Amino acid sequence: MTQTNQPEINVQEKRPLDTGTAESTSSEPRFSPQVDIWENDRGLTVVADMPGVNADGLSIDLNDNVLTIHGRIEAQNPGKKVLTQEFEVGDYYRQFKLSEDIDKEAIAATIKDGVLAVSLPKMAPAQPRKITVVQA
């Protein structure tokens, strides 16, 4: 029998996040960005597609081991007459439950061309070390 490793991050099932008017005070849509998650010996990387979002419209928060990604898409040409509009304005929102071995102080994120990359490094295991005794 093969033993599987515990997942390092719990991902919500893919589903639309607009679950009803009771949860939202905005009439704009809320999108669940598609993500890829990779793991190596040093940690995990979460990559999320968030077209139309830039660094100013993005917030990433960590609270009680829950990583929350929230991105805002602004109107591209406010004040101009719209002839055709296929791009929607709204929010991206996704949450992940992190495992205890993630180094929460070292989490880093970048966004380029609407692709968000969040680095979740693992904590280094405690290493044995020799303590030097100094004559007082």
For the chain, what are the domain ranges? 29-77+84-121
Q: Are strands 90-98 and 66-73 parallel, antiparallel or unpaired?
A: antiparallel
Domain 29-77+84-121: CATH architecture, name and number where available = Sandwich (2.60)
What are the pLDDT digits (tens) for 2-22? 444 544 565 544 333 333 333
Mean pLDDT computed over 123-136: 84
Whole-prediction pTM: 0.71
* pLDDT for position 5: 52
- 124 φ, ψ (degrees, to nearest 5): -70, 135
Q: pLDDT of 39-55, one tens digit each?
A: 998 999 999 999 989 99
User: What is the Cα–Cα distance from 40 to 122, expressed in whole angstroms?
Assistant: 10
